[in-house]
DNA sequence: TATTAGCACTCATATTTACTGAGTGCTAAT
DNA sequence: ATTAGCACTCAGTAAATATGAGTGCTAATA
């Protein structure tokens, strides 16, 4: 168990290191107003903290830096749980609402805002369209054999794909088929669309041979639509300002990783479903993010569960501020009404 | 005017430098099989080439490197104009066609392919949707007051936007308005859509007050749609492998610049309209690309003018290979039929 | 007259060496 | 239990030196 003084020292080391990115020495600490002990005393405590694995030294004659365990302790015990500053939340909400009605734009804005507030990189994952329900499916003819399949969801999300048919489309056949599909499939979650279309087609198979053929083609194209969840990156440039990313060796893996949209999406979707979660250094299990910490949170928009937002910074990130800002943003989003 | 030998030397210097990224010295050159002169002779010619501004030395005791003027001379006089390798073009075409029917996917594929072939970064700009003509406009209701405005162009491009109306939408009013707009506006280039809608609305103003109000709202949302041309980046990682981008000072401006989608689009659209154009170093006028050269070309797909594709590498890029590959790709695209 | 050999000179880069100073750990005094 | 004192460690910096690739010029050569 840590003594009162050791706690103070640990906190001071981490706070200091977060600010300066430099190892913190005993003399520096003893000069602080809130630590009125001699450097020797502090050194003794530091040795204890090191034995406990909470801090470590880069080399013999350097000061101490927090270890991952140290950060973990700091986050779990020394960072106040989120305090919503009503006025600030309101102001953030205003800035968000000023931008747009459209949920996707709103999410982007939120990511940018969070990144501006913290100077870290943010990633926001929009609603997984697999959960969206079909509002309408349509086929707009472009010419005799080409058309655009449109899939609009109840959330206003639109997927589209150009299809080319083997033979010219008969207008009334198209209309008939589309009406049929709309009648049967309205409200189907996109994730089940492929399966449900299959069912409907099967029913139809014997009855209307011609329509069947046509629909088969339609389906084949439609089901290939990948329904990617919308992903948005905010403040990617911020990484350039972090002292720990001033060398190519550290910068490159990060940039390469963050540019891989698909992997990023999978990662965000795989995160545990919680309000605010802090993952420190190697905890996140991603090699490219070894030296990063991530603050993630699911968020709701207009009351409905929506997506995930993440904030990525160096392990030496300002957890206190980060957690706070994350809290404000998701609270502001929660209170945002889409229609007004 | 350059002597035969000076030409040979200039070419050798550039070829060598392109490969090694190291200043080329007279002794290195005199060892080459195609240069059977003594290093002293070569030194004399090098001095002349330097007087002419074609090469320069980084410092007194280093070899020579090509100047921008040197590269320009090299590209204009020493690189063969594109030779289409029929078999290779065919193979590239196959690889492209294998991927998809959809033009946007095809363009992405082309950018990736070009980047794979050259190990440089590529940017592909899809068709400017402002040129696309309206195939159909539609409003799909989501609930009483929200709907999705869909704009489909003759090229299969889709724009969409969620709109929220002040008052509930009357189904027949919606239908009537949409039919009206479709009747009047079909075939209108997207760039003129805003203006044309204005015209139609003016006509309607006095006749149908209610419909007018509704349409005004519809318009307001629609015209805000930004019709961004589709932009695709290929092989961004490649930059990490270029020796001239191993320091943050050079890397950072490049990465920051290339991540700015909007600026990138404007830039590509502002390029002179030609088949294949090489812009060397500062010629392109972009600070972040001071040390880069760019090979750009407009391309056609299925015979129709389509967009622009660019290849960005260090000034010391392999122009010969780059120009060649660019030629192959746009030729392959030109021969690609969208429907088959 | 064009080419080449020879040589002094330049200058980036690498290596060595010495120095500085922030920081530690331990011991003995308070 | 705390603190003063001191020997020791070691990254970082700076100066000193060496290395070698490359140049420009001059004089000899074909």
Q: Which nucleotides in chain D have some atom under 7 angstroms from a protein Cβ?
A: 2-5, 8-11, 20-26
Q: Determine the pLDDT at residue A225.
A: 54
Q: Using CA atoms, how far apart are residues A317 and A71, in angstroms rounded to an integer?
A: 10
Phi-psi region of B123 (alpha: psi -120 to 50; beta: other; left: phi over 0): beta
Residue B139 above 70 pLDDT? yes
- Smallest Cβ distance to B158: which of A148, A251, A252? A148
For position A211, which CATH number holds?
Answer: 3.30.390.60
Q: Using CA atoms, how far apart are residues B197 and B306, in angstroms rounded to an integer?
A: 26
Domain residues for the domain of A144 are: 134-224
Q: Tell me if residue A82 falls in helix, strand or coil.
A: coil
Q: Determine the pLDDT at residue A158.
A: 85
How confident is the model over A57-93, as pLDDT tens digits?
Answer: 999 999 999 999 999 999 999 887 767 889 999 999 9
Q: Which helix (H) or strand (E) holds B284?
A: none
- Smallest Cβ distance to B158: which of A160, A163, A339? A160
Contacts of residue A259 in chain B, CB cutoff 8 Å?
Answer: 236-237
- B97 & B175 share domain: no
Q: Determine the pLDDT at residue B215.
A: 65
Contacts of residue B241 in chain A, CB cutoff 8 Å?
Answer: none
Nearest chain B residue (CA) to A148: B156
- B73 & B168 share domain: no
Confidence of residue B189 (pLDDT cuts 50, 70, 90): confident
Report residue A307: phi and psi, to 5°.
-165, -160
Return the beta strands (E) in A134-200 as ranges. 134-141, 146-153, 158-164
- Structure letter (DSSP) for residue B138: E
Which nt has its C1' nearest the CA of B25? D22
Q: Tell me if residue A1 falls in helix, strand or coil.
A: coil
Pick the closest to residue B240 from B300, B185, B314 (CA basis): B314
Is residue A161 domain-resident? yes
Q: Determine the pLDDT at residue B340.
A: 45
Contact A252, A286 (CB under 8 A): no
Q: Is the CB of A216 under 7 A from strand D?
A: no
Query: B195 vs chain A: nearest CA distance in angstroms?
Result: 23
B140 and A138: CB-CB below 8 Å?
A: yes
Q: Determine the pLDDT at residue B7.
A: 95
Residues in chain A whose beta carbon is closer than 8 A to a beta carbon of chain B? 101-103, 135-136, 138, 140, 142, 145-146, 148, 150, 152, 154-156, 158, 160-164, 236-237, 240, 246-248, 251-252, 255-256, 259, 338-340
Q: Tell me if residue A86 falls in helix, strand or coil.
A: helix
The residue among B200 and A48 whose pLDDT is bigger is A48
Least confident of A9-18, A25-34, B177-186: B177-186
How confident is the model over A240-270, as pLDDT tens digits?
Answer: 999 999 989 899 999 999 999 889 988 998 8
Residue with token string 């092989």: B235
Question: What percent of chain B is helix, strand and coil (3-state, nearest 5)?
Answer: 50, 20, 30
How confident is the model over B248-286, as pLDDT tens digits?
Answer: 989 999 999 999 988 998 899 888 877 899 999 999 999
Residue A210 above 70 pLDDT? no
Which among A100, A101, A108, A152 is the top mutation candidate for probing chain B, defined by the most B β-carbons within 10 Å of its own β-carbon?
Answer: A152
- A187 & A263 share domain: no
Q: Using CA atoms, how far apart are residues A302 and A107, in angstroms rounded to an integer?
A: 12
- B67 & B120 share domain: no
B164 and A255: CB-CB below 8 Å?
A: no
Pick the closest to residue B222 from B265, B176, B183, B178 (CA basis): B178
Is residue A38 domain-resident? yes
Is residue B340 domain-resident? no
How confident is the model over A119-130, as pLDDT tens digits?
Answer: 999 999 987 767
For chain B, the C-alpha Rg in angstroms (whole number) is 27
- What percent of chain A is modeled with pLDDT above 90? 52
A223-232, A296-305, B238-247: which is most confident = B238-247
Is residue A340 domain-resident? no
Confidence of residue B143 (pLDDT cuts 50, 70, 90): confident
Which nt has its C1' nearest the CA of B62? D22
- B244 & B300 share domain: yes
Contacts of residue A148 in chain B, CB cutoff 8 Å?
Answer: 135, 152, 156, 158
For position A9, which CATH number holds?
Answer: 1.10.10.10
Contacts of residue A251 in chain B, CB cutoff 8 Å?
Answer: 248, 251
Nearest chain A residue (CA) to B102: A162
Q: Determine the pLDDT at residue A340.
A: 45
How confident is the model over B209-260, as pLDDT tens digits?
Answer: 666 666 666 666 665 555 566 899 999 999 999 999 998 989 999 999 999 9
- B181 & B200 share domain: yes
DSSP string covering B61-126: TS-BEE-HHHHHHIIIIISPPP---HHHHHHHHHHHHHH-SSHHHHHHHHHHHHHHHHSSEEEEE-
Contacts of residue A129 in chain B, CB cutoff 8 Å?
Answer: none
Instruction: State the average pLDDT for chain A.
Output: 87
Least confident of A133-142, A306-315, A321-330, B88-97: A133-142
Is residue A70 domain-resident? yes
Q: Tell me if residue A277 falls in helix, strand or coil.
A: strand
How confident is the model over B125-137, as pLDDT tens digits?
Answer: 987 767 778 888 8
Is residue B286 domain-resident? yes
Residue A294 above 50 pLDDT? yes
Residue A162 above 60 pLDDT? yes
How confident is the model over A186-203, as pLDDT tens digits?
Answer: 988 887 877 787 777 777
- B324 & B299 share domain: yes
Confidence of residue A161 (pLDDT cuts 50, 70, 90): confident
A142 and B135: CB-CB below 8 Å?
A: yes
- B29 & B120 share domain: no
Burial of A267 (0-12, 13-18, 19+ CB in 10 A): buried
- B107 & B248 share domain: yes
- What percent of chain B is modeled with pLDDT above 90? 53
For residue A250, the tally of other CB atoms under 10 A from its CB is 18
Q: Tell me if residue A148 falls in helix, strand or coil.
A: strand
How confident is the model over B66-81, as pLDDT tens digits?
Answer: 999 999 999 999 988 7
Q: Using CA atoms, how far apart are residues A206 and A78, in angstroms rounded to an integer?
A: 69
Nearest chain B residue (CA) to A159: B158
Q: Order the strands of the A292-301 sheet from edge to edge.
A: A231-234, A121-125, A304-314, A292-301, A277-279
Domain count, chain A: 3
- B318 & B295 share domain: yes
- A281 & A309 share domain: yes
Which nt has its C1' nearest the CA of A44? C25
For position B248, which CATH number holds?
Answer: 3.30.450.40
Contacts of residue A340 in chain B, CB cutoff 8 Å?
Answer: 164
Is residue B243 domain-resident? yes
Final residue of a domain: which of B206, B222, B238?
A: B222
Joined together, the tokens standing for residue A50 give 């090191």
Q: Which residues 6+ apart lie within 8 Å of B330 measured at CB? A: B275, B276, B297, B298, B299, B300, B309
Final residue of a domain: which of B222, B237, B263?
A: B222
The residue among A145 and B339 whose pLDDT is bigger is A145
How confident is the model over B305-326, as pLDDT tens digits?
Answer: 788 999 999 999 999 999 999 9
CA angle B219, B225, B226 (to 5 degrees): 140
Q: Determine the pLDDT at residue B170.
A: 81
- B47 & B184 share domain: no
Joined together, the tokens standing for residue B29 give 């050159």
Q: Determine the pLDDT at residue B193.
A: 79
Q: Determine the pLDDT at residue B236.
A: 95
Residue A208 above 80 pLDDT? no
Is residue B172 domain-resident? yes
Average the pLDDT over A142-154 and give the result. 84
Final residue of a domain: which of A224, A256, A279?
A: A224
């Amino acid at each position: 168990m840590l003594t009162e003084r050791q706690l103070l020292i640990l906190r001071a080391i981490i706070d200091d290191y977060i600010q300066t990115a430099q190892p913190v020495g005993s003399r520096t600490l003893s000069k602080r107003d809130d630590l009125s002990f001699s450097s020797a005393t502090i050194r003794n405590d530091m040795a204890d903290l090191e034995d406990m694995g909470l801090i470590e030294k880069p080399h013999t004659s350097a000061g101490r830096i927090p270890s991952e365990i140290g950060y973990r302790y700091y986050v779990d015990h020394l960072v106040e749980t989120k305090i919503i500053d009503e006025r600030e939340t309101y102001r953030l909400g205003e800035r968000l609402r000023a931008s747009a009605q459209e949920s996707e734009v709103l999410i982007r804005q939120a990511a940018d805002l969070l990144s501006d507030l913290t100077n870290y990189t943010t990633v926001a994952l929009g609603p997984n369209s697999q959960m969206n329900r079909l509002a309408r499916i349509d086929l707009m003819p472009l010419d005799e054999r080409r058309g655009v399949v449109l899939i609009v969801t109840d959330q206003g999300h639109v997927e589209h794909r150009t299809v080319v048919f083997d033979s010219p489309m008969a207008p009334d056949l198209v209309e008939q088929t589309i009406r049929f599909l709309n009648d049967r499939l309205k409200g189907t979650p996109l994730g089940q669309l492929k399966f449900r279309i299959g069912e409907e087609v099967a029913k139809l198979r014997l009855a209307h041979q011609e329509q069947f053929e046509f629909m088969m083609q339609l389906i084949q194209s439609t089901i290939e639509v990948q329904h990617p969840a919308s992903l948005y990156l905010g403040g990617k440039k911020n990484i350039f300002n972090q002292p720990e990313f001033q060398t190519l060796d550290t910068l490159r893996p990060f940039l390469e990783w963050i540019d891989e949209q698909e992997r990023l999406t999978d990662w965000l979707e795989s995160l545990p479903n919680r309000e605010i979660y802090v993952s420190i250094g190697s905890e996140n299990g991603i090699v490219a993010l070894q030296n990063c910490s991530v603050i993630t949170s699911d968020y709701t928009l207009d009351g409905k569960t929506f997506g995930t937002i993440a904030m990525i910074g160096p392990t030496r990130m300002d957890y206190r501020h980060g957690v706070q800002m994350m809290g404000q943003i998701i609270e502001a989003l929660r209170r945002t009404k889409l229609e007004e």
